Amino acid sequence: MRLILAALLLLLAPAAALAQPSPAEQTMMRTVEAEHDRHIALLERMVNQNSGTLNLEGVRVVGDMVRAELEPLGFDVRWVDMAETGRAGHLVATHEGPGRNVLLIGHLDTVFEIDSPFQTFRRDGARATGPGIGDDKGGVVVIIAALRAMQAAGTLSEANVTVVLTGDEERVGSPVAVARRDLIAAGRAADFALEFENLAVDDGAEFGTVARRSSTNWTLTTTGRTGHSSGVFNDSLGYGAIYEIARILDGFRRELPEPNLTYNVGVIAGGTPASIDAEGFNVTASGKTNIVASTAIARGDLRTLTREQDARVRDRMLAIVDAHLPRTEAELVFAETGYPPMAPTEGNRALLARLNAVNRDLGLPEMAEYDPARRGAADSGFVAQDVDTLGGLGAAGGNAHADGEWVDLDSLVRQSQRAAVLISRLSLGGE
């Protein structure tokens, strides 16, 4: 028995000896640690500059902050103006080398507009709060810290890296084909894509993001004949708009359920008349109890895991809408803007396996796949159909999109080290 155990130890010893960072990777790790205070200071400056999606100048200023970090690293940085979509624009930075192209995705804007009361970076030890501190300014700092570490280690000089930071991730401009034109093109040119939204953490365990569901809005409008309520349900007056919209929404509830699908109703109104504003956020209605409603409006969202699921569910929703109650009509319109799904693929899972090899070599726990139903949509959905993609490589934190959004500042070190080693290995071919 002892001989068998000894033989097993001898077999395992070479593998264990190899499971460690290379000298260049050790330099990356030391550089990230040494520059931690610098990265926190950069994060503070970025957070204190409001860059709500509709604060176009603020988004551009944050873009200039990133430019000042990337140009000294040898990146060719350009600003892509998006005035035609009603948004500020995007920062695109390229570092050409002989290696395989790695696309790094993040965003400059936040959900906190200039009139938000939540505007300031606050630090309490290893925890800091601020608008957009995790979504996604922490992720942008992770990108910068990783690239600086690569430069210090000498791996950036040969690496082929593209950085795309959108300025309207939280409220995509229209038309979306223009708003995401440059990101989609970068995805088609890339060999790998890494997205730096918040790290998924559950009960202290960190997870990899190989899939995200889509997010798109829909608007349902029903109409009916109006008149005195004594005639409701008869052959000439029919059921009215409110009964029709109730039929449709209950049909969605009963007939659509399947794994990884949600279809929320966020707002609804019905009466004579009823209307919805141009932004689709506010509905108004009036009426009397003895009047059959002429109009009803509901607005909601649809989230799916794959493009095939999305197309199938949309067709089913339209079929339910078309089975009208007598003397009513209905129209279901899906918004042109929205996020496509980042479907789980074997290529994405292979990227997570590469990240877990990094984790083993850095002495970090391996990361399991995160449940996509628990993640929001992101810009990675626009490239995932064309290139293997891994998401959630940004900072760890919580309370995103709300007052009190926070990050664990120590996670900046861990995430930047992971990213620096992973980007280097992907671009330069190391394992």
Domain edges within the chain:
13-212+342-428, 215-339
Q: Around 427, how many Cα atoms within 13 Å sit in the side-chain half-sphere?
A: 28
H-assigned helices in 286-386: 307-321, 346-362
Mean pLDDT of the chain: 94
Structure tokens of 129? 């709060």
Confidence label for 8 from pLDDT (cuts 50, 70 and 90): very low
Residue 7: pLDDT over 50: no
Give the per-residue pLDDT at 280.
Answer: 75
pLDDT digits 0-9 by tens, 364-407: 999 999 999 999 899 999 999 999 999 999 999 999 999 999 99
pLDDT above 90 covers what percent of the chain? Answer: 91
Q: Region 138-150: what's the mean pLDDT?
A: 98
CA nearest neighbour of 50 among 143, 136, 113: 113
CATH dotted code for 13-212+342-428: 3.40.630.10
Task: Quick: pLDDT tens for 335-363.
Answer: 988 899 999 999 999 999 999 999 999 99
- Walk across the sheet containing 406-408 and list its strands: 122-124, 127-129, 406-408, 397-398
Q: How many CA atoms lie within 13 A of 120 on its CB side?
A: 3
Its CATH class, for the domain covering 215-339, is alpha beta
d(C-alpha 230, C-alpha 34), whole Å = 79
Please name which of 235, 220, 259, 424 lies closest in space to residue 344, comparing C-alpha atoms. Answer: 259
For residues 228 and 311, is the Cβ–Cβ distance under 8 A? no
| pLDDT tens profile 212-241 | 999 999 999 999 999 999 999 999 999 999
Q: What is the rounded average pLDDT of the residues 31-38?
A: 98
| Contact indicator for 109, 135 with CB cutoff of 8 Å | no
Q: Over pLDDT 70: what percentage of the chain? A: 95
Residues 108-132, mean pLDDT to the nearest whole number: 96
Spatial separation of the C-alpha atoms in residues 367 and 355, rounded to whole Å? 8
